[in-house]
Structure 1
Amino acid sequence: MKYPRRMHKLIAIAGVAALACSATTPVLAAEKSSFDQITVASTQAFSLGQLVTAQGKPVRAGVPVQIFAWPNSKKLAGLKVGESFKLTELSSVKTDAAGKFNLSPALKAAGKSSEPLSVTVTAQDGSTPYQYSTELAPENSGIARPALLSTAGTATEVSQGRDAFVMKPSKDIATPERVVATRATSAAVPAAYTCNSRLETKYSPTYAQVGASFLYASGASADYQFKVGSSSSLGVATSSSGKSGSFSAGGTASITSNVTLDFPTSTSGIKFYKASVVTGKFSTICQNMAGPGIKQTYQIRPVKFTGGMTVSKGTGFSENHRCVKLLKKAKFTKDKTRAITWSRGMTLPKIAGFNVSSQSGFTSSSKIVYAAGKKDRKICGHTGWPAENAGNIKLK
């Protein structure tokens, strides 16, 4: 079955700590702190997903797949503990004979949003559950993000195929409890779920890495700005019980800053820039009275930026790809590039027990400015020309 490719992006950077990245997202810096394992994701866009069994075989045709949107950043930030809300269904489709499903309806809905949509992809094949958190961003949103799934840390459950992102059964989601049907229905064609979530608790602020600068020359400077409207993709932890130690990496969610963080100008060394983030534990109940029944999950997700910041020393990279000259007294500004992922970029509350990824790119709302000072310098991209999708950029 062929599906039209829409000009939108599917984003999913899986959050997890201390786990190696897959071959498609190589580690680009030595791991010396909890914030310096850097990956760069592919830019290929997907309009298809695929469900496979635990053994990697495609599921049968006709398995319902739903994509639900979470509240936007403004509504999420205003939630009070104990407040409930309904997740918005973006699309409800079914798998074909190859286990693939069409993302286009959800991508079309995302095109109407001014910021990335945090979504949950969920499916149920008999008693086997599938669930993954990710983000959808319209290409015309001006947000420079990788278009393809990064499999850092969750390659066993989510991976990238030739033309689709691939989901295996969720290990951390319990089999739905069966309930008495309220009306006669065919078990072979279960009705769709409706999902409601509740903010159970908020945790003390933690820090998520949102940027970095790399100075290898004295007399030069770097200025990083995380402006109003900047979005970060942060890791999500998932559990079927919500108990301490039961959580595992479950994808990502996006939040957007409503303040500008203009970090102190750096004049030497390598600096990692971090923004303060509040996280919360959510319980989500999806109910299908006519089909597989009720299923409940718990997630620890980012709720909002607080406006706080901090800076720490970081670890650099030795590669010097495609260096170009920067004349004395000149400046180099990068504000559009592929997003960068720090696979241990944010510390979750103790109940989760691990760190997750953070991802930010240089966009019209987030940028790095290098100033050469009194000498001619070189600007080097990590993976390509500095003016292109070069990953991190150094001045030397």
Structure 2
Amino acid sequence: MIYFDQAASSFPKPKEVAEAVAEAINEYGANPGRGGHTLANKAAAKIYDTRVKLANFFGLHNPRHVIFTQNATAALNQGILGLSLESGDHIITTSYEHNSVRRPLEYLKRVKGIEITYIEPTSNGEINFEQLEYSIKPTTKLLIVTHGSNLTGAIIPIEKLGAIAKKKNLIFMVDASQTAGILPINMTEMGIDLLAFAGHKGLMGPQGTGALLVNNNIELKPIVTGGTGRQSEQIEQPSELPERLESGTLNTPGIVGLLEGLKFIEKTGLDQIFKHEQTLTEVCLTGLNKIEGVRIYGPDIASNRLAVISFNIEGIDSQEVAMILDQHYQIAVRAGLHCSPLAHQSIGTVEIGGTLRASFGIYNTLEEVEKFVQAIEEIRAGYLI
């Protein structure tokens, strides 16, 4: 099977990741922070090592402000719903956002009466900064953006947005689900207050892992309360991080797998990972552009972009193409709206059911890309007969 659905979840994983998960389950599968015995302490130490590694990797000063979640969706919900937003408060975001951002925001709009402004980036991910600053009101509290589109691969200039947020005294939150482990991110240098990401995509960790990193003493209310292993005599949730935002038993096997994923990325190097994926993307775009009837959406081939390509074949349903690729060519891609309906509205593909999306990772090869382009050419030719 050729796996071109890396934007949904990276596969395969480094062997060290699987080995670490198995070791945690087989050798120290105790409950971290819930006991003083040797196995519980070893599990807790591994989790703390991962906090330190993530904090260093993303430019966060305090590793105790690394909050583990089960995925990026949980991290985004905690960051958005945990803020003390009230009726009349204003939030600015983009039309590129995943439903993991849009739905919590729209929930706050319905329940609390907040206002939302959706800024529409260009196909290359560029933002009209004058329009953005014009949209900022005295009631604006939060600017939240994706770092990279899961639909088109466009990269959003978060460093410039962070500077604007700081100048205007806004909380700046970034969804790095598509860029963590692919592009360099430094929260302190980029002015990021809250950073959310999945562990199972570019960071090469197991599914069931994610994190919310909290910078600059941002106060968040927990959206889940319960056992924390500390201060059990208190009725209220502890006030200190990470316990305040981490209720219940953590996913120790997943987190230690994530630690090995991070080590793999550091060993390989972000530059090397990005260059490899960029090469695959350029070859694929060049090949697809030569096929009559193929329409590609998103940044042009000369742009700095992620290894995510969305396209359609004229007159052929994207779901049908995905099924043919899977069953006849053993190529895994994704078709549909990709949980990003606003982004599809921006590129005009909602009414036709979305797009076909191919996304590449560090383990994909040029030979696989060439087979994929040939498969698309054959499918297109087959429908012309």
TM-score (norm 1): 0.24
TM-score (norm 2): 0.24
Higher percent of residues as helix? 2
